[in-house]
Structure 1
């Protein structure tokens, strides 16, 4: 696969946006957190497709984990968020950016893709927490925060995608 300079710049900027959005968080007593990283990931994937969404999610989430002291989860986040972005983007736009498909995607298609991405994310992090914390109970206790983060992400992304797709793909 050949990446143009434009692709590399977009992926770098979108990765930084994912990492930055994840820093907008509320830590919870269970050790989990609610953040806007999923909103950024879903928005990016729905606007730019699976390639950009997957790479931005993988790089941005991995970078966040490394910088913010969650290094035990870095590899998990790269895989989980990378595949989540790939799934959502592919379901909405396809693999590569496609302005026509991004403009034509319906609310139902967006919602379905984001729900599938959310379920994948919850399952992935459940495995990650069970492995890192070596506790099934701790993994279960963090699931509500994951679904809350994804729910907020879906709501925010639905509005952002609707507002931004007309502007971005002109």
Structure 2
């Protein structure tokens, strides 16, 4: 995690928020109408490198800015909340290794736990959305599950990117 210094902290939270916006703009369209993107990888890196609160805030702000700029403003508050929930899954995995993963396989475990949080939040959000649209709970749950492939691709992509970038970024930030 970065050394404590308020100006440095603000810069890094802002940097990771901007990188989240950029990562989310790199969209891979899915047949379900959703899209896979690289923003979740930035969120996970932010939590691992900045800590739970600052990392989740950076990712959440980045997702909110992306949503507001791209016509999804109504969903922006949800993604701030989701960033903190998914960030908690990430940080829980991080704590398994005493905040110091030393092997790629440990990052894969952390990424998998983070992905589980993302998939649960996506399923919950989409189920609630389909219920509000007039579907009964079982139909809404099934319809929501049909949208999970994009999130699953996000999870796998996130794990790969974090496994490649975490150790080099950690060394850079320790300077």
Work out whether the TM-score is over 0.5: yes
Gapped regions of structure 1 (runs ≥ 5) = 95-99
Match of 1:80 in 2: 82
2:157 aligned with 1:160, yes or no? no
Match of 1:97 in 2: none
Equivalences for residues 9-24 of structure 1 within 5 A: 9-24=11-26
Runs of 4+ in 1 over 4 A off after TM superposition: none
Length-normalised TM-score, structure 1: 0.83
Structure 1 CA distance for aligned equivalents of residues 173 and 8 of structure 2: 14
C-alpha displacement of 1:26: 1.3
CA contact (8 A) 1:41 1:56 kept: yes
Equivalences for residues 1-170 of structure 1 within 5 A: 4-89=6-91, 91-92=93-94, 101-102=99-100, 105-134=102-131, 135-170=140-175
CA contact (8 A) 2:32 2:147 kept: yes
Specify whether residues 126 and 101 from structure 1 end up closer, same or farther in structure 2 by C-alpha distance, changes over 3 A only. Answer: closer
Length-normalised TM-score, structure 2: 0.81
Structure 1 CA distance for aligned equivalents of residues 173 and 95 of structure 2: 14
Structure 2 CA distance for aligned equivalents of residues 83 and 3 of structure 1: 26
CA RMSD of aligned residues (A): 2.4
- 2:163 is paired with a residue whose SS is helix
How many positions carry a matched residue from both structures?
163
Structure 1 CA distance for aligned equivalents of residues 64 and 48 of structure 2: 20
